[in-house]
């Protein structure tokens, strides 16, 4: 029922950036090696995500748009999830809050397209596409003006979109990303302005992450970052942390991941701050890209579908690992 879908959709899609997050995560789950994101007017009028992943067969297209249809989990072990998605809510939610078109081509199949508007599913039609999937979402929240009113300026929404793309780009350095702003552009994105670009990185995760760090935070930052690898009671922390001299005036340069998912979590950012406490004044923020990995049973990363909080079974261990691991690295670097 369209009304129920719209209400549930609001839980998943709060603003353009949350739509972009869901679509990019789907592309990553599909094994994409390149993901192109185009938005116009802060994502309010257009969000387009194109990938070169596995694609969807014509028969499966309507299924992908129906509620709680996910191809990613069989329901036996909700904790052991290795893909980003598993709820089967994102595409139907987006179809309920905007005009959605889904075009896809799976290996050995013809390309096909289906449109949804206001929750009404159209027919599957032949389309032209070489590989992968293109999802286009136009006029987000056009049917719910109350929600539209809560969105911030185009500039602020674009900033949030950019933040989401950069966090996922940091999480997946082997995947190439571009972000384009098509505001005011007429054609199919051809004259859209590239606002962020990160070519696919090669090598092991440390090498790849180092390259990605340079594309996102700058070469100087990457060259002066400390490599981190520490373990405590079943949690491993890897990545890079800045020397205190490369701290930032804002917390935007903190990239934290738990079991591969970007998180923004007070416990973790508090621990990061505590590790640098002796070196930074109150208005400076340590820059870092840190991955915490542990048995999925030791942490809940799905507290809320649209948020990115985590709940460790033993928060003290996570905090202690960050504080002592970073202090150790800083001490070895002469601080």
Residues of the shown chain interacting with ligand ADP in the complex, contacts defined by CB under 6 A? 22, 26-27, 29-30, 51, 53-56, 64, 70-72, 85-91, 133
Residue number of the CB atom closest to ligand ADP: 85
Closest CA to 23 of 35, 15, 33, 14: 35
DSSP H or E stretch at residue 193? strand 193-198
Nearest distance from C-beta of residue 12 to ligand ADP, angstroms: 9
Binding residues for Mg ion restricted to 244-283, rule: CB under 5 A: none
Nearest distance from C-beta of residue 66 to ligand ADP, angstroms: 9
CA distance 219 to 231: 28
- Whichever of 90 and 96 has its CB closer to Mg ion, that residue is 90
Angle ∠(321,325,327) on CA atoms, nearest 5: 125
- Sequence-ordered list of residues with C-beta below 8 angstroms from that of 186, at least 6 positions apart, any chain: none
- Whichever of 36 and 181 has its CB closer to ligand ADP, that residue is 36
Judged by CB under 5 A, which of 5, 26, 45, 238 binds Mg ion?
A: 26
Judged by CB under 5 A, which of 42, 85, 132, 286 binds Mg ion?
A: 85
Q: Is 104 in the site for Mg ion (CB under 5 A)?
A: no
Nearest distance from C-beta of residue 309 to ligand ADP, angstroms: 19
Nearest distance from C-beta of residue 68 to Mg ion, angstroms: 12
CA distance 218 to 242: 12
Closest CA to 134 of 71, 31, 51: 51
Stretch that binds Mg ion, among 5-13, 79-87, 112-120, 136-144 (CB under 5 A): 79-87
- Cβ atoms of 161 and 42 closer than 8 Å: yes
CA distance 332 to 156: 40
- Whichever of 8 and 251 has its CB closer to Mg ion, that residue is 8
* CA-CA-CA-CA torsion sign (12, 13, 14, 18): positive
Considering CB distances under 5 to 8 angstroms, the limit depending on partner class, which of ligand ADP, Mg ion, none binds residue 89? ligand ADP
Interface residues with Mg ion (CB under 5 A) are 26, 85, 90
């Amino acid at each position: 029922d369209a009304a129920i879908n719209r209400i549930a959709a609001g839980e998943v899609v709060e603003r353009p950036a949350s739509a972009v997050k869901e679509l990019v995560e789907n592309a990553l789950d599909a094994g994409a090696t390149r993901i192109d994101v185009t938005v116009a007017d802060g994502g309010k009028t257009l969000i387009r995500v194109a990938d070169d992943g596995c694609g969807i067969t014509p028969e499966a297209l309507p299924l992908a748009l129906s509620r709680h249809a996910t191809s990613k989990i069989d329901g036996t072990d909700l904790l052991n999830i290795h893909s980003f998605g598993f709820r089967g809510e994102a595409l139907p939610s987006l179809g309920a809050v905007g005009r959605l078109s889904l075009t896809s081509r799976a290996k050995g199949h013809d390309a096909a397209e289906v449109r949804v508007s206001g929750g009404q599913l159209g027919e599957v039609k032949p389309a032209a596409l070489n590989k992968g999937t293109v999802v286009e979402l136009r006029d987000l929240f056009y049917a719910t003006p109350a929600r539209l009113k809560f969105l911030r300026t185009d500039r602020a929404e674009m900033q949030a979109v950019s933040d989401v793309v950069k966090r996922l780009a940091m999480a997946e350095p082997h995947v190439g990303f571009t972000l384009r702003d098509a505001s005011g552009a007429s054609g199919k994105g051809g004259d859209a302005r590239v606002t962020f670009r990160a070519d696919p990185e090669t090598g092991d995760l440390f090498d790849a992450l180092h390259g990605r760090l340079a594309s996102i935070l700058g070469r100087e930052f990457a060259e002066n970052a400390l490599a981190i690898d520490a373990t405590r009671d079943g949690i491993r922390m890897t990545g890079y942390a800045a020397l205190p001299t490369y701290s930032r005036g804002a917390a935007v340069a903190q990239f934290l991941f738990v079991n591969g998912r970007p998180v923004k979590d007070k416990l973790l950012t508090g621990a990061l701050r505590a590790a640098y406490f002796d070196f930074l004044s109150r208005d400076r923020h340590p820059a870092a890209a840190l991955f915490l990995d542990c048995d999925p049973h030791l942490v809940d990363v799905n507290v809320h579908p649209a948020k990115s909080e985590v709940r460790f079974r033993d928060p003290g261990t996570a905090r202690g690992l960050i504080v002592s691991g970073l202090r150790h690295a800083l001490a070895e670097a002469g601080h």
